[in-house]
Amino acid sequence: MKATEVGAHLPDLPRKPGPRAPWGQNLSLFLGLASALLLVLDPRLVAENMAELRHSELLLLLTAIALCLVRGVGFQFKPGSPGQWITHPFTAWPLLALAWWKLLH
């Protein structure tokens, strides 16, 4: 096969959009990393004493951090799947805010 024959088919290939990071993805990554770092660097924000730690609220916080990070690193679910709407910023951000509010109050 000649190089010209291969080159002739290149324009026929579908063009795929390049990687893009919309503002929601960047903000999700920032919120997820900031929350994780805050939790790791100062665990006393969650509980002064491990006996008073509320595990359900901590589980909610860790889940919200994971959802923000999944969206932030650019993982994309199949269209129409539950993962697509769970990791959406309008779902993950309020969940993260709720988790921090429950832990701090």
Tens digit of each residue's pLDDT (9 = 90 or more) over 29-85: 999 999 999 989 988 877 776 667 778 888 999 999 999 999 999 888 888 889 888
Distance from C-alpha of 19 to C-alpha of 27, rounded to nearest angstrom: 16
Entry pTM: 0.75
CA atoms 66, 71, 73, 75: torsion sign: positive
